[in-house]
Amino acid sequence: MRSKTRNLIRLEKEVGMKKSMVKIIFFLVLMISAFFLARYYGFSPGDWSPERIQTWIKSYGSLAPLLFIFLYTIGPVILFPGSLLTLAGGLAFGPLLGGLYVLIGSNLAANASFFLARFFGREVVEKITKGKAEKIQAFIQREGFYAVLLLRLIPVAPFTLLNYAAGLSPVKWFSYFIATLLGMIPGIFVYVFLGGNLDWKRPSFWMALALLALLSVVPLWYRKRNKKINSLSS
């Protein structure tokens, strides 16, 4: 009887390991596919400036907004800086449309990572994040909507790491979606406004720079005062 139980436990472990391996391989295939798809359309995350990205995106004419949103969605997968794309969005489409497209793309990226974490599970995500998501996940598990909103507003964890941590937590998707949407609006529109006003001779450039400074200093000040938030980055 004991030998049968041991064999059953061993079999369950082997099946679990095989499932984890399949999920890891599937995740890697997704990342590689996204990378080569971006390359196929002429995009390479090398030494690109907002101006070059704008020129490349606008060359697709009426498809430019869709291409930009798609690029923003897969940005975390191909390891492209979101801030650079956000500036390019402001330059290419202006503050309002650029902000809207960035908001759509960043939310698609955030929700894709969230559901990937839920699909692949803890074992796969911990291999990718190297255990860095544990504290953030625990905080989200305790505070739910408030935690996600606060972590979007305050620079404690990288964008993708927060998405994965939320996916591993029991927070409801709708709460995560709304908190992410609201929490990303201030930063997105300040960066997009700056992207649309990169000429330092214009007063709007200095206004955008002042807003960016305010957006950076206030969260850092709050982070220093809040031990609970500050401990998440250690």
pLDDT digits (tens, 9 = 90+) for 57-82: 888 888 899 988 988 888 766 656 77
Has residue 100 got a pLDDT over 50?
Answer: yes
The burial of 205, by beta-carbon neighbours within 10 Å (0-12 exposed, 13-18 middle, 19 or more buried), is given as middle
How far, in Å, CA of 184 to CA of 182, rounded? 6
The burial of 63, by beta-carbon neighbours within 10 Å (0-12 exposed, 13-18 middle, 19 or more buried), is given as exposed
- Residue 199 phi/psi, 5-degree rounding, is -80, 110
Tens of pLDDT along 211-221? 777 777 766 66
CA atoms within 13 A on the CB side of 147: 23
Token readout for 223 is 């982070």
Mean of per-residue pLDDT scores for the chain: 74
Rounded average pLDDT over 19-30: 57
CB 162 within 8 A of CB 151: yes
Q: Between residues 28 and 76, which one has the greater pLDDT?
A: 76
| Residue in 5, 191, 10 with CA at minimum distance from that of residue 87 | 191
Q: For residue 233, give Cα distances in angstroms to 147, 161, 162, 189, 212.
A: 14, 12, 12, 25, 22
pLDDT band at residue 30 using 50, 70 and 90 as cut-offs: low
State the pLDDT at residue 166: 87
- Look up residue 5 and give its amino acid: T
